[in-house]
């Protein structure tokens, strides 16, 4: 099957500049394509993962990805989807974040034997001559047309800086540079990048008289149209130091029933017939599909060993048993519990399971905290060493968050 049809069947593709031509191009040629990643943090997150998976599908079909890291565009910030101007990052932070992205992307894409490339747009953007840039690139952009782009329309009432207004030109220039340097003919991105992608396609046409192509993918949203990848503790990161493999697994294990099939299609490599079989059930049977989803995604991101540990820990936590080293743990001195440690201090000060003491009191009054599977009903409850089983104590917050305390 043509990779275009594979991506279409799995629900990736949202918009294309030339559908028929792109399908034929991907069937006849080894195509160099690119996806951009602005290094606004030191880790990729779940929101990036759809485009990363699309990149992997494309490479498996024989095409060559360029992962374009925004060492230059990251200095400006993409206004798309933002209500306020993004915090300005220092060159040192951006350089560090670029290095982190390079390391992470190598887990999903093979860079051996020039099968893929990592390029930093800072190489050409940071030393641009502004007047030359305006004369070569700026002359081809209509301000009136730019203001019709959704990314700018949403910001006009609140305020759009001239700095951010340049972003579309910079991203379009990226496509032009990659076309010139590497014969890159296709830009891929999230659906929110459509206007920026069109700018690059048009710029290549105007300056070289050649046809370039653009294609956008689904944003990772749930059945209610809200972006996925957020928890009460913040973003779901692909870095194990920021989101543990256990927490990562649990996030996917607890997705809504209506979102399981979409996530299996977009975020795993499972064959479509297997996905159809997993999702053709009713009631509680869908939990098998959720467990498969959680395991497969965790395996891709963190490796099969970590996925197995997370799965084992989740099963143990569900059964009310600890699984030391596999789920979030805190090691505490037994002396703390000799005369009893109040539950609020344990939750907030010593484990960080709960952010504030007021939230802890609220959860306790609502039976939202369990110790060893039993609800804690008093806000002045004392945790003592006799509650530990083999030196381990399992704490549960709500239905989804488990944390183990070990005595040392």
DSSP assigned state of 348: I
List 86, 96, 140, 357, catalytic entry: 86
Q: Is 86 a catalytic residue?
A: yes
Q: Is there a binding annotation on residue 34?
A: yes
List 107, 227, 288, 374, catalytic entry: 227
List 10, 45, 64, 185, catalytic entry: 45
Q: Is 15 a catalytic residue?
A: no
Q: Is 321 a catalytic residue?
A: no
Q: How many CB atoms lie within 10 A of CB 106?
A: 14
Q: Is there a binding annotation on residue 251?
A: no
Q: Is 298 a catalytic residue?
A: no
Q: Is 45 a catalytic residue?
A: yes
Q: Is 231 a catalytic residue?
A: yes
Helices 167-182 and 194-208: crossing angle in degrees, nearest 10, is: 50
Q: Is there a binding annotation on residue 154?
A: no
List 14, 15, 16, 40, catalytic entry: 40
List 6, 73, 80, 171, catalytic entry: 171
List 95, 102, 230, 400, catalytic entry: 230
Tell how strand 382-383 and strand 117-120 pair up: unpaired
Q: Is there a binding annotation on residue 173?
A: no
List 192, 257, 370, 385, catalytic entry: 192
List 10, 17, 38, 48, catalytic entry: 48
Give the integer Cα–Cα distance in Å for 85 and 76.
9
Asked if residue 364 lies in contact with residue 376, where contact means CB atoms within 8 angstroms, the answer is yes
Give the integer Cα–Cα distance in Å for 142 and 123.
27
Q: Is 59 a catalytic residue?
A: no
DSSP string over 248-295: HHHHHHTS-GGGHHHHHHHH----HHHHHHHTS--GGGHHHHHHHHHH
SS3 371: strand
Q: How many CB atoms lie within 10 A of CB 233?
A: 13
Residue ranges of the binding site for ATP: 230
Residue ranges of the binding site for L-tyrosine: 34, 167, 171
Catalytic residues: 40, 45, 48, 82, 86, 171, 192, 227, 230-231
Residue ranges of the binding site: 34, 167, 171, 230
């Amino acid at each position: 099957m043509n990779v275009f049809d594979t991506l279409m069947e799995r629900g990736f593709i949202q918009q294309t500049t030339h559908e028929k031509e792109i399908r034929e191009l991907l069937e006849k040629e080894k195509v160099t394509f690119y996806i951009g990643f602005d290094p606004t943090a030191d880790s990729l997150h779940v929101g990036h993962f759809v485009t990363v998976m699309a990149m992997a599908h494309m490479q498996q079909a024989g095409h060559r990805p360029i992962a374009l890291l925004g060492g230059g565009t990251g200095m400006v910030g993409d206004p798309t989807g933002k209500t306020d101007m993004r915090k300005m990052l220092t060159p040192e932070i951006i350089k560090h974040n670029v290095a982190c992205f390079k390391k992470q992307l190598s887990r999903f894409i093979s860079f051996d034997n020039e099968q893929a490339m990592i390029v930093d747009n800072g190489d050409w953007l940071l030393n641009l001559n502004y007047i030359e840039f305006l004369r070569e690139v700026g002359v081809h952009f209509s301000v009136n047309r730019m203001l019709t782009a959704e990314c700018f329309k949403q910001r006009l009432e609140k305020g759009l800086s001239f700095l951010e207004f340049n972003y579309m030109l910079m991203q379009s220039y990226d496509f032009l540079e990659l076309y010139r340097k590497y014969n890159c003919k296709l830009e891929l991105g999230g659906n929110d990048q459509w206007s920026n992608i069109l700018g690059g396609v048009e710029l290549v046409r105007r300056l070289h008289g050649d046809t370039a192509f653009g294609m956008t993918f689904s944003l990772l949203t749930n059945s209610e149209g809200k972006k996925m990848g957020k928890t009460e503790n913040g973003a779901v990161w692909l870095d194990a130091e920021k989101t543990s493999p256990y927490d990562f697994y649990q996030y996917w294990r607890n997705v809504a029933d209506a979102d399981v099939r979409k996530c299996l299609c977009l975020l795993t490599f499972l064959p479509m017939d297997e996905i159809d079989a997993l999702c053709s059930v009713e009631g509680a049977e869908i939990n098998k599909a959720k467990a498969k989803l959680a395991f497969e995604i965790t395996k891709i991101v963190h490796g099969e060993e970590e996925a197995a540990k997370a799965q084992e820990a989740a099963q143990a936590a569900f059964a009310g048993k600890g699984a030391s080293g596999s789920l979030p743990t805190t090691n505490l001195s037994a002396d703390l519990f000799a005369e009893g440690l109040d539950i609020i201090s344990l939750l907030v000060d010593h484990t960080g399971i709960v952010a504030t003491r007021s939230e802890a009191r609220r959860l306790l009054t609502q039976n939202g905290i369990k110790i060893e599977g039993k609800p804690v009903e008093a806000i002045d409850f004392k945790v003592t060493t006799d509650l530990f089983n083999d030196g381990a104590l399992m704490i549960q917050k709500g239905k989804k968050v488990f944390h183990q305390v070990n005595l040392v």
